[in-house]
Chains A and B, each alone.
Chain A
């Protein structure tokens, strides 16, 4: 059974400062829970920039390839039709649709990757460590499995940074 140390704050500044200090003091951060995307918390938690922008580029490239090659194959290979004497491969005329497929693939691909990677999917139940994180609470969750977990130090840091409350939690599931 996993043990957690859960600290709640009522504003983002205390949260960021406390996170920084927990990190510096060698605690293992499981995650933080916030009502909105707090700026600067990613640096405090030591999160690397997301690789999703590369995924987006990859999907955009796939979309562009499918858009361009698809139109070429249909118009020039599979069933060429003479329309106003235009060339089978009317590349400039294919650009608008190629652009749209690029955007479509990039957008949908990135979003589905996000949902799959973060596990935010229809039918999922949220893991809630402390109440009101979607309302007005900012919560840090530390893993307490290690022997080296220093409870006194953790409580001290929480007090210094005006934590509203802190508690130990066992994983219920």
Chain B
């Protein structure tokens, strides 16, 4: 127990930093030449993005008949990707808003990059329903605006219309929260900039921030308010995404456990993605003293908890299928575990139930390579969770004559790879050109070990 108390008192960043060195370290990254690892990551990501652009252009020109969908399985890869990416975004808001409200000071080193990840993930997510429309140039029809077709408004009783509002609100609020948090750091970059161009760019981006405490005072209030708004927002977003399924009358989808199940799954997969990204970023950008093993460990603990909730949800679904006495429900769940898509189901169970259990061991939690590999397994598992939910419920219809199988076409696979390309390209550019660590917030927790620890 004594050991435990001592570990709580460890400084949040390592290497005896003072205010000046924090600025130097974080802003210094932006001046230095990128590491080889950064270039490798960037080139792979940009190639994947190029592939995605080609695939999306092709399917928009040809039509979504290029996909493997049929009359029975009308949703598959595309909506799987959509739900997967929305879920990824949730960890960022959880770290930046909910941990802020709980006064978890360790979040300061990782919140900036986690928020950036949220924005990039939501951008990836938003693309899929738009591509799915087949005629993406009509996407603005989803918004309620006075028009000459009646006016024929959108149907506000439809969960798909709720999605439009939820996702766009989420994107806007996350972007604003991220940018507002970054203004003081952009001013730090401005004040250290040596070239005229850089001075001008960051002078513009930092909105004339002067460090005035009267501004700080109001800024802190607003930051708290935004955190308070973002916390219920993030829960609402995946709740609404789950309504896309739960409000339908399809066995396997029509269940009241979906909202909490989806939100926990989103946080679970999001934290896995944060781990994947930050383990790359801390290495590529030499930030091991800021994003410490302690940070990684804390996140793996969140994964244990949310992984547990996800496991409970899987069990609950099966229990309710049996307990309901509804033949269709029972069939769907037996078919999930033993039908033609059983392989996908068991990948999902293997990755999502077993992987988090490794994190009970400190040796594994503190081994970065192991954490990296396990986080990728969770990413895979959570992608398959959405695939299983969507495809297994659809491919065995109420009428056996309508039963069908689904096989993704190469266009769909290329689009998925492309979305990863977009996500990682944006993230790689972000860690190169913007302050990846919240300089101001890290400075405020440096004093954590200050006066009270006897050291100034």
Residues of A at the B interface (CB closer than 8 Å) are 11-13, 31-39, 41-42, 45, 47, 49-50, 52-53, 56, 70-71, 74-75, 78-79, 81, 83-84, 86, 90, 93-94, 96-97, 99-101, 103-104, 106-108, 110-111, 114-115, 117-128, 131-136
Is A36 in contact with B444, judged by CB distance below 8 angstroms? yes
Cα–Cα, bound, A86→B184 (Å): 50
Nearest-neighbour CB distance to chain B for A140, whole angstroms, equals 9
Q: A-B pairs with the 6 shortest C-beta distances?
A: A124-B208, A136-B19, A126-B210, A32-B213, A50-B221, A36-B440
Nearest-neighbour CB distance to chain B for A155, whole angstroms, equals 22
Is A74 in contact with B222, judged by CB distance below 8 angstroms? no
Q: Within 8 Å CB of B212, what residues of A?
A: 31-33, 118, 127
Q: Within 8 Å CB of A52, what residues of B?
A: 218, 221-222, 225
Q: Within 8 Å CB of A127, what residues of B?
A: 210, 212
Is A117 in contact with B191, judged by CB distance below 8 angstroms? no
Is A118 in contact with B218, judged by CB distance below 8 angstroms? yes
Is A36 in contact with B208, judged by CB distance below 8 angstroms? no
Q: How many B residues have CB within 8 A of the partner chain?
A: 67
Contact of B153 with A by CB under 8 A: yes
Contact for A135 among B152, B188, B447, CB less than 8 A: B188
Is B176 in contact with A107, judged by CB distance below 8 angstroms? yes
Is A107 in contact with B236, judged by CB distance below 8 angstroms? no
Is A106 in contact with B150, judged by CB distance below 8 angstroms? no
Q: Within 8 Å CB of A107, what residues of B?
A: 172-173, 176-177, 226, 229-230
Stretch with Cβ within 8 A of A (4 or more), from B119-127, B161-169, B267-275, B321-329: B161-169
Is B19 in contact with A96, judged by CB distance below 8 angstroms? no
Contact for A37 among B18, B191, B219, B230, CB less than 8 A: B219
Is A136 in contact with B156, judged by CB distance below 8 angstroms? no
Is A94 in contact with B169, judged by CB distance below 8 angstroms? no
Q: Beyond A45-B213, A53-B225, A103-B169: 4 further Cβ-contacts under 8 Å?
A: A52-B222, A70-B144, A74-B144, A99-B232
Q: Within 8 Å CB of A97, what residues of B?
A: 156, 161-162, 165
Nearest-neighbour CB distance to chain A for B357, whole angstroms, equals 36
Contact for B443 among A35, A119, A121, CB less than 8 A: A35
Contact flags B174-217 to A (C-beta < 8 A → 1, else 0): 00110010011001101110000000000110111111111111
Cα–Cα, bound, A115→B447 (Å): 29
Cα–Cα, bound, A29→B19 (Å): 25
Contact for A31 among B157, B213, B444, CB less than 8 A: B213
Is A47 in contact with B153, judged by CB distance below 8 angstroms? no
Contact for A96 among B150, B151, B166, CB less than 8 A: B166
Cα–Cα, bound, A11→B456 (Å): 9
Is A47 in contact with B207, judged by CB distance below 8 angstroms? no
Question: Known interface pairs A34-B211, A35-B440, A75-B153. Does A135 touch B192 (Cβ–Cβ under 8 Å)?
Answer: yes
Q: Name A52's closest neighbour in chain B (CB-CB).
A: B221
